[in-house]
Amino acid sequence: MSDIYQEKRQTVIRDVVVGKKCDICFKDIPPTSRSFPRTNHPYFDITTHHSDWGNDSCDSYEHFHACSPACALKFATEYLNDDFDGSHSREIEIKHHSAWFMPEDVIGDD
Ligand SMILES: [Zn+2]
């Protein structure tokens, strides 16, 4: 069976990121403007999980944002000082991003 194609306009509804918030101090992390001069607002993606066994490890992944090195370190310190809630390991990954951009098709919508 052959598919027959024709150009048609479609409206697609999908979830897009329209904001970021620090999970530690709850401040908004502003997007970077697409026009110059740009003001970047660095932020950190934090991923935590344990690697004890099987599906429990897969289900343990959690993701957070931090607005500053101070907030990222506060989160890491509290996470690593917390009792391990029955798990035998803890892993934390902190990625620094220099900026994030609002998707172009969202700009102007409010
Ligand atoms: Zn913060």
Q: Is the pLDDT of residue 12 over 90?
A: no
CA of 29 to the centre of ligand 1 (A): 8
The pLDDT value given to residue 58: 75
Whether pLDDT at 84 is above 80: no
Checking 57-60 for CB contacts under 8 A at 24+ apart, the result is 60/87
CA-to-CA distance for 66 and 82, rounded, in angstroms? Answer: 18
* pTM score, whole prediction: 0.75
71 CA distance to ligand 1 centroid (A)?
5
pLDDT, mean of residues 64-82: 94
Distance between Cα 84 and ligand 1 center (Å) = 24
pLDDT at 99 > cutoff 80: yes
Q: Is residue 8 part of a domain?
A: no
Structural domain contains residue 109: no
9, part of any domain = no
Residue range(s) defining the domain that contains residue 51:
17-103
Distance 9 CA to ligand 1 centre (A): 42
- Residue 84 in any domain: the answer is yes
Q: Is residue 1 part of a domain?
A: no
Whether residue 40 lies inside any domain: the answer is: yes
Inside any domain, residue 97: yes
Higher pLDDT, 20 or 53: 20
Is there a domain that residue 11 lies in? no
Q: Report the C-alpha gap between 99 and 108 in whole angstroms.
A: 20
Domain count, the chain: 1
* Ligand 1 center from residue 110 Cα (angstroms): 25
| Ligand 1 centroid distance, CA of 81 (Å) | 19
